[in-house]
Chains A and B, each alone.
Chain A
Amino acid sequence: MNKELKRTLIVLAGMCILFVSLVVYISYFQVFKAEAIKNNSYNKRLWINEEKILRGSIIDRNGKILAYSEKSGDTYKRFYNYGNLYSHIIGYSYREYGKVGLELEYNNTLLNINEATPFHELKNIVIPNTEGNTLKLTIDHHLQEYSRNLLKGKKGAIVAMDPKTAEIYSMVSLPDFNLSNLKEEWNAIVEDENSPFLNRATSGLYAPGSTFKVLTAMGILEDPELNKQYECKGSTTIDGYTLEDYGGKAHGNVNLEEALVKSCNSYFADKGVLVGKNKLGEIADNFMINKKIPFDLPTAKSTFPYKESLGKTDIGAASIGQGKVLVTPLNMALIASSIANKGEVLQPILVKEAISPGGKVIKTNHTKKISEGVDIFAANEVKNMMVEVVRRGTGTNAGIKNIRVAGKTGTAENPSGKSHAWFIGFAPADDPQIAVAVVLEEDGTTGGKTAAPIARNIMIEALNTIK
């Protein structure tokens, strides 16, 4: 082969590579990137296409309609039946303000837009899609309304769920906003310093305070070498830094159960240091702290940065839910549920199923385990101790007549100077039907005094009304 021909073939090969790379790139673009780009809110086609489709309704677990669309003129208009009640669950879908909440996360389902597979595309050309799917939530409208009323006038969040299936019955975050007159109040909502747009239940990060002790207790239980007895003097000094018990009260000689019942800070701080940050961190990880909780709405990640170099003081503080530990209310509800559910952590479910316009269920979110949590023996021991907390300890305000309730209170100090009041718990302890987490943000009171009664009322209402 002569030199000239050889070089010509090299150039030809170069040209072929250029064209083949175009084909590879366009295929790659279509398969991996197109979906996200297509759904960019700057894509004007989205709105034009969406306005031709009847957006699906959103209903609660009993079929009550929470949001629906209706034809007005040439386009469809979205109606939200319950103003503020579902601002953080359903969210909104307005052309001017975009989409949030389930309206965003389940946009394609609500519009019946399928993934861009060749089959669906062909089908769509032959039978154009005009009507979206209905979303059936796990929310119980009555309990949702009831929960919000209990929290009214305060800042904070409530998550109530079925510990056996991880279906969310109610999820409230206050302050919220009215979905129906968003246009009029937009500026006020944006400028409000209490951030009404923040879904505190899934994305609010709070110090858990003493509710975190249920995890520390597991660490102590699982350490066979550790002496479970302790002499509480009302405060303990770790590396020159003093942690006080609530009101400086000395609890005397306590074992693990007594320490949890009385929420003894000295006990848990000192024992926590002995258990060590790695064991505590491992338990936290098992309960989805430091992990993203897979959920139908966006969630913030709870954190316990045990892999950083923590001093003994930090570990002591973390053991009682202070210092560097931050959690979401959803995460705490999940922890309560897991203890109720033999220690297994289930994936929380908000959308039960998607129903086609013809009434066929096209998608079901089934209950599934997402993490091991803790073994059944430790879970049951902690459960029994939590029953004692409500029977005779800091959580008596959560007690229900004739029903064994398990719970743990928390009063979390934070930079604002006003403590968060926490309660997590479930009932009945022997056959758990309802688990709940309540947090009152910067309330300045103790969990046992303010959060526990709210949790109690929700548990009673859920046990009486939800079948």
Chain B
Amino acid sequence: MFKKRINYKVPRNLLVLFELLALFLIFIYDKDNFDKYTFGSGIALIFMIYISSFILLRISTGDNYIFLIATMLISIGIIMIYRIDPALGMKQVIWIGMGIFLFFISYFIVKKIKGWKDWTLLYGGVSIALFVITLLFGTRTKGSLNWINIGRFRFQPTEIIKILLIFLIASYYTNYEKYKEKRFGSYYLIGIVYLFIGFLFVQKDLGTVLIFYSIFLALQFIYEEDRKLILYNVLFFLVSGVAGYFMFSHVRVRFETWINPWKYIDNKGYQITQSLFAIATGGFFGTGIGLGHPDFIPEVHTDFIFSAICEEMGIFTGIGVIMLFLILVYRGFKIAINQDDKFFKIVALGISILFGIQSFIILGGVLKMIPLTGITIPFVSYGGSSMLSSFIALGILQVASEDLDLGEEKYEQGT
């Protein structure tokens, strides 16, 4: 009986309840600016999320929780973004809408098209092309060269390359035997991943370096038969990390402000100390929406959204966000373990690790548990590229959660 009651409907309805309460809170907080337009988009967002999960239940035979978890994270994020800046909040609603649309698009495309596992070269080629384009035409913000302007829109190629990287590694290990036979075949992957990391280093995008490396190392750990390669990989990364520390000042700054930000409170330690002030002030229950001062933190709507959540909604909500990511990662691994198709198994693992590591790096960073590197929290932070790529990744994970009927592939597994 218990099992029957906890079906998909219960969390879906709870989510709607949470969102309605949040909308009410925003209404109280922002009475003066709260117009039909805001109310309309709030209701539209709630409706959109509800309908999407309803449709998903009909069309997908796979895991229906991951979408709910992601939309829960989105709901927490959008409240905070709207509270920090209503204009950004409205934009974010549009990004979320586009994200959900892309979720379904990528779901259908990845599901219908066959042969993903064989296009290793394509993934590598497109990635390198995107990197080169970034280097040639990119704009520098916050010290990192990682944006491309197309007309009025800006987008971050690394957000796409993350997914390409996962596909690349997945296709490599799916066709492991084939590559192994070639000369230096074992070193192809390690070479190309380090090329990517090299590009990122030039762009000064340290957070993404860590994400790429973590995904690579984890998948290598699971699938690499040549165990000594893993050792080389770890050693090489440590050596280049130490070298990077001495060669590049931006690596040193991250490290120094991690060890003791209070010494540099007026300059390079300002951001992280403001974040700590916010979290400390919030306490367990937070100050309440609109009653704190997250606006004291620079970049609060993107990288530091978690500090704002902790300040105004309390660290209990902060722990809630951490737990949501934990569940998302757990579901992702579960999907991977149950998937019989090797390619999608690896893709599911890669995407789970991506969500997990990315959120861990930035949450640990704003808490000063690990050195801070500026990246977004998937689904929570403000930002178009991040939102869209997270939804694309989620769409692919949704495909991987299904029982894929791929003919003879199935019988080759199971050893």
Contact = CB atoms under 8 A, between A and B. Distances in A.
B329 A19 contact: yes
Interface residues of A, number: 38
B283 A125 contact: no
Interface string A103-122: 00000000000001010011
Contacts of A20: 326
B265 to A, nearest CB: 5
- Of A18, A20, A37, A38, most buried by chain B (CB within 10 Å of CB) is A18
Interface in A11-57: 11-12, 14-16, 18-23, 25-27, 29-30, 33-35, 37-38, 40, 42-45, 48
Nearest to A11: B218
A7 B280 contact: no
A392 B195 CA distance: 94
Given A18-B356, A45-B277, A8 B333 contact: yes
A118 B356 CA distance: 29
A7 B369 contact: no
Interface string B305-324: 00000100011001100110
Interface residues of B, number: 44
A5 B337 CA distance: 7
A4 interface: yes
Contacts, number: 117
B277 A118 contact: no
A2 interface: yes
A347 B273 CA distance: 37
Contact of A11 (B273, B280, B353, B367): B353
Given A12-B333, A43-B277, A22 B296 contact: no
Contact of B279 (A15, A23, A34, A35): A34
B94 to A, nearest CB: 31
Contacts of B367: 22, 25-26, 29
B296 A44 contact: yes
B218 to A, nearest CB: 5
A10 B220 CA distance: 13
A374 B333 CA distance: 70
A20 B360 CA distance: 10
Contacts of A37: 276-277, 280
Contacts of A40: 262, 273, 277
Interface string B70-92: 00000000000000000000000
Interface string B367-387: 101000000000000000000
Interface of B: 218, 221-223, 262, 265, 273, 276-277, 279-281, 283-285, 288, 292-293, 296, 310, 314-315, 318-319, 322-323, 325-326, 329-330, 333, 336-337, 349, 352-353, 356-357, 360, 363-364, 367, 369, 415
26 contacts: A2-B415, A7-B222, A8-B349, A12-B329, A14-B218, A15-B329, A15-B352, A15-B357, A15-B360, A19-B356, A20-B326, A23-B319, A26-B279, A26-B310, A26-B319, A26-B367, A29-B280, A30-B279, A35-B280, A40-B262, A45-B292, A45-B293, A45-B296, A118-B285, A121-B284, A125-B285
The 5 residue pairs across chains A and B that have the minimum distance between CB atoms: A34-B280, A37-B280, A19-B326, A38-B280, A7-B222
Given A10-B221, A34-B283, 9 more contacts: A7-B221, A19-B322, A20-B326, A23-B319, A25-B369, A34-B279, A35-B280, A38-B280, A44-B293
Interface of A: 2, 4-5, 7-8, 10-12, 14-16, 18-23, 25-27, 29-30, 33-35, 37-38, 40, 42-45, 48, 116, 118, 121-122, 125
